[in-house]
Amino acid sequence: MISLSEIETTVKRASKAAGYSWGVSEETGKCIRLLELFSLPGIKHLNEYFNEKIKSKFENLNRISENNPSINNPYCPISLGVSFLDQINLLENLKKIEFKNVAYPIIFISFISRSSEVIGKKIYVKIDEKKILLNLNVNISSNFIDQEFPKKADTIQVNLLENEDNFNKHEWNNLYKLSENTFVEESDRLKEGAAGAGLTDND
């Protein structure tokens, strides 16, 4: 089995050979490594994208806004991903972002997952009718994880979620009250056994 480190290094070199800068290639290597770590088809889709890139034209997007349509050609998932990752601290204020016509969206998703870690927030993504939840780059949850990922997305909606507890105040208070049973009242005996007590001074 090929190691994740070898995957990252080989993808970086292949991306450079495909025409990307070393900086972009390095980011791509990290992202494909991430997909393979989560058992997602990163190598497969990157291979297909590079093969298609030789004969087809793809668009770049330098500045991302709330609505980002690509009318003539699909967006390059790598350049789009790098732009998203670079601008995530500004994009966080938009809450909802939409992209039209994106090639090999699973590659783009890997950049969004890393962006989730940067801002410390979950990101909900909808690829046409398929749903994905990115959780601070720790995991990727999807309702189509066992299905074939599309090679092109007509619409990708990205929602940056606010951090919220998954429990209510009543549930938390009940649990905290139970935890109080482990508390021990401080006594003179405990104070005598506190840090430093009973140590022998050898000086």
Going from the C-alpha of 199 to that of each of 71, 191, 194, the distances in angstroms are 77, 14, 11
Instruction: Over range 22-39, report the average pLDDT.
Output: 96
Q: What pLDDT is stored for residue 185 in this prediction?
A: 60
User: What pLDDT, in 10s, does the model give residues 138-185?
Assistant: 878 877 767 788 999 999 999 999 888 889 999 999 999 999 888 876
Instruction: Over range 99-109, report the average pLDDT.
Output: 97
Instruction: Over range 23-35, report the average pLDDT.
Output: 97
> If you search the block for the tokens 């390095």, which residue do you land on?
26
What is the spatial distance between Cα 98 and Cα 87, in angstroms, rounded to a whole number? 15
Query: Tokens representing 183?
Result: 């508390």
What is the spatial distance between Cα 193 and Cα 176, in angstroms, rounded to a whole number? 27
Which of 90, 98, 70, 83 has the alpha carbon at shortest distance from 27?
Answer: 83
DSSP-assigned letter for residue 38: T
Instruction: Over range 27-52, report the average pLDDT.
Output: 96
How far does CA 118 lie from the centroid of its chain? 9
**What 3-state DSSP class applies to 51?**
helix
Which of 10, 50, 52, 51 has the alpha carbon at shortest distance from 30?
Answer: 10
Residue type, 154: D
Strands 139-142 and 152-160: unpaired
pLDDT above 90: residue 47: yes
What is the spatial distance between Cα 4 and Cα 118, in angstroms, rounded to a whole number? 22
Q: What pLDDT is stored for residue 33 in this prediction?
A: 96
User: What pLDDT, in 10s, does the model give residues 84-94?
Assistant: 999 999 999 99
